[in-house]
Amino acid sequence: MANWKKAPIREALGKTLVELGDRYPQVLVVNADLRNSVKSIYFMEKYPDRTIEVGIAEQNMIGVAAGLASLGFIPFAVTFARFASKRAADQISMSVDYCRNNVKIIGAYAGIFTGAQGVSQQMIDDTAAMRAMPNMTVIDTADVHEVRSALLFAAEFSGPVYIRIGRDEWPVVFDETYTFELGKGRWLREGSDVVLLNSGILLPYAVEAAELLESEGISAGVVNMPSIKPIDAALINDISRNVGAIVTLEAHNVQGGFGSAVAEVTAANYPVPIEMIGLRNEYSESAPNDALLEKHHLNPPWIAAAAKRALDRKNRLRC
């Protein structure tokens, strides 16, 4: 098993926002309270004049951000994913996505590992809502380095972006050299029997599952795909053709999320067996992360079991 170094994800969000402030004078942060939780407090402390605080009013947060963007600012609207996405879903659709206003929406506390605070502070259907918006770029993040890189990308990119970001101390998979690439997945580990295709925070467990599978003589690849929209269809097609079995991983409901996005690609091009790791059309609860990983079958043994099911279906199809 990998012995992961851990780092707090929300600290990376807070620090990177300050870095963005240092680099780009046009960057503003729009808060809807929660600055202490999502760590945008660091930006506020350094750049009080560049912080817009609307209070607990996410619909207004999005509309104000759109107005700020219209005069050339790059507003980062930062709050919990539940409130940043669907609480203001129509404002995002009409005032940001349709009009292509250059607003960056940061959904912190995405997924279920949000400090044992229960369902109302988790978010498992934001990817589904955001990726259905035609002009939206949707990114999920795995560790502190991917968080930083995705935020830097968003500041440079012209157009609406939604980024999912976790909260807790979390395994560090990448290093400082990591660079997010829009629409690109990346192999972390080669494999010829099955590929574990990950978007977001379950990445270390995908790596551990691949090691488990290897110990059982199964060659499992690991591909990380933070860019959910646009998605790396070329790489998915390669995997479909050359490997022929896929497990998708996401801290999100399997209905409508990253797994669905992958399945849309395979179904249209080269259908192969897919098993989806994620919330199985269910809500979570407040509990320590280990307990939630086990409850929702997100642990490496469960991932390995899913990989074997996909591999088994592949082999039966090919008989």
Tokens in use for 103?
Answer: 């607003």
Can you tell me the distance from the alpha carbon of 237 to that of 246, in angstroms, rounded to the nearest whole number? 11
- For the CB of residue 60, give the shortest distance to other proteins in the complex, in Å: 4
Q: What is the contact surface with other proteins in residues (CB under 8 A)?
A: 49, 52-55, 57, 59-60, 62-73, 75, 90-91, 93-95, 98-99
- Would strands 104-108 and 161-164 be described as parallel, antiparallel, or unpaired? parallel
Element spanning 94, H or E:
none
Rounded to an integer, what distance in angstroms lies between the CA atom of residue 194 and that of residue 63? 44
Q: How far is CA 271 from CA 73, 178, 268, in A?
A: 43, 31, 7
Please say which residue, 98 or 283, places its beta carbon nearer to other proteins: 98
Nearer to other proteins by C-beta: 130 or 197?
130
Q: Write down the least CB distance from residue 279 to other proteins, Å.
A: 29
Distance in Å, CB of 91 to other proteins, minimum:
6
Torsion sign over Cα 17, 18, 19, 20: positive
SS3 content of the chain, % helix, strand, coil (to 5): 45, 20, 35
Judged by beta carbon, residue 135 or residue 269, the one nearer other proteins is: 135
Beta carbon nearer to other proteins, 53 or 211: 53
Minimum CB separation from other proteins for residue 33, in Å? 12
The minimum distance between CB 140 and other proteins, in angstroms, equals 27
Cβ proximity to other proteins: between 11 and 53 the closer is 53
